[in-house]
Amino acid sequence: MTSPADALFGLGDAGAASDREAQVIVVGAGPAGAAVAHHLAAAGVDVLLLEKAAFPRDKVCGDGLTPRAVKQLIGMGFDLDQPGWQKNKGLRILGAGHRIELPWPELASFPSFGMVRPRMELDELLARHAQKAGARLLERTAVTGPVLDTSGRVVGVTARPLDENGRRIPGSAGEEVTYRAPIVVACDGVSSRLATSLGITRRENRPMAVAARAYYKTPMHDDAWMESWLELWDGPVGASNQLPGYGWIFPCGDGTANVGLGILDSSKMFQDFNPKDAMRKWLANTPEELGFRDENLVGEIRSAALPMGFNRKPHYSRGLLLVGDSGGMVNPFNGEGIDYALEAGHMAADIIVQALARPSGVSRERVLEGYAAALDAAYGGYFTLGRGFAKLIGSPTFMKFATKHGLPRPALMRFSLKLMANLTDPRDGDAHDRIINAFSKVAPDA
């Protein structure tokens, strides 16, 4: 018998009975994919969520959740007072001999606190949350490419099952399987096999960063502030041996802190930069009592690329939507990607729900094409500002001047925090909000 939701979205008994068919396929169960799947399932959509790894699994990330991400988690029904969520008051910035603490702003639009949760835990929490809402999660399922109809539209994906070690299963048990759906969402990360298979490749004129990250046992594991280090030194502070890049220390509350550093490709040092080596040199010159030494290292130092400022577009093409890193949705101002993955995932799900309520064809396509326009309207101008900022901070001269003369000015730094974290009220905000919103609105969203 066809359910009311199936009838509304045009899925009959035959489609509902197949484990390899769905109304929507989401590829990748990170924050982007889990958010899409959760919101779709909560709306009654039959969604299949395919994940290459098996949970729990790690991802290289700073693990910091600013108030933008916290708002999405609250909206999804998470109880952030449960154990494992480490709350923080704001950002502590160190540089040019200054140490300042900037609380998250008091806004109507966002909560006034941030969180830290290791991706090893966060991603599984989000994926299981989507499952509870009704999404069908298949782990150890490596998507190999899209399935196209005769018009070139994406109507599904091919995938192979993997064993517990993430390897291809030999014999017939490891044969490629086809999964079908009229809409597919690519949340498959920075390299995005699905996007590139449709010719949607990285834009070389958009910023890219590389970052290294590790966990260390430290007495500051429950510090109330996330830290940002604007200067990294290979030796005594103030010496001539300043390292390129910028560092962070994000307390996890479990005896460890997430510690890392990154560098933008706008830096002249980018090509020769070894983030793991630079990280060890920097941490060797941090205070001994903080514990950031190899004997306190938990696991290993790992690195990854950060795709920024919409570096892959269009975000919708021929039945395929891009969400999260696959669409380059990392903020060029601060390297944050989880909040935009969650927000864009929610946005994509809302649009897909409306699209599925239309007849297939031109009417449905018109709704789906609105996804890219909605992203540009929400973030296009702001990310354009961020791309300009990314070019500026690649200059050591600019950063030295900005750090020396900006950090001593509290009002300027409060403005900078709002700008870099994209935290403003759209209406009835203060002067800082109005300035940031105005600049974002007039900046082109190309």
Per residue in 36-64, pLDDT (tens digit) is 999 999 999 999 999 999 999 999 999 99
Residue 240 reports pLDDT greater than 80: no
CA 301 to chain centre: 20
Q: pLDDT tens across 58-111, in order?
A: 999 999 999 999 999 999 999 999 999 999 999 999 998 899 999 999 999 999
CB atoms within 10 A of CB 172: 6
CA–CA distance, 339 with 346 (Å, rounded to integer): 11
Residue 171 is predicted with a pLDDT of: 86
Identify the CA nearest to 47 among candidates 362, 321, 375: 321
Residue 17 reports pLDDT greater than 50: no
The model's pTM is 0.94
> Phi and psi of 222, rounded to 5°?
-115, 25
Q: Tell me the residue type at 97.
A: G
Element (H, E) at 422: none
Mean pLDDT across the chain: 92
> Phi and psi of 5, rounded to 5°?
-65, -40
CA–CA distance, 405 with 401 (Å, rounded to integer): 6
Query: Which of 151-160, 203-212, 309-318, 401-410 is predicted least confidently?
Result: 401-410
**Cβ neighbours of residue 361 under 8 Å, at least 6 residues apart?**
none
Given a contact cutoff of 8 angstroms between Cβ atoms, the answer to whether 234 and 241 are in contact is: yes
Q: pLDDT tens across 295-321, in order?
A: 999 999 999 999 999 999 999 999 999
- Cα–Cα distances in angstroms (integers) from residue 237 to residues 95, 228, 240, 241, 334, in the given order: 10, 16, 9, 9, 24
Given a contact cutoff of 8 angstroms between Cβ atoms, the answer to whether 402 and 316 are in contact is: no
CB burial of residue 118 (10 Å; 0-12, 13-18, 19+): buried
CB atoms within 10 A of CB 25: 30
Residue 8 is predicted with a pLDDT of: 41
Residue 94 is predicted with a pLDDT of: 94
> What sign does the CA torsion over 422, 428, 429, 435 have?
positive
Domain ranges of the chain: 208-307
Residue 7 is predicted with a pLDDT of: 42
Q: Tell me the residue type at 175.
A: E
**pLDDT tier for residue 209 given thresholds of 50, 70 and 90:** very high
- Cα–Cα distances in angstroms (integers) from residue 102 to residues 112, 225, 294, 436, in the given order: 11, 9, 30, 18
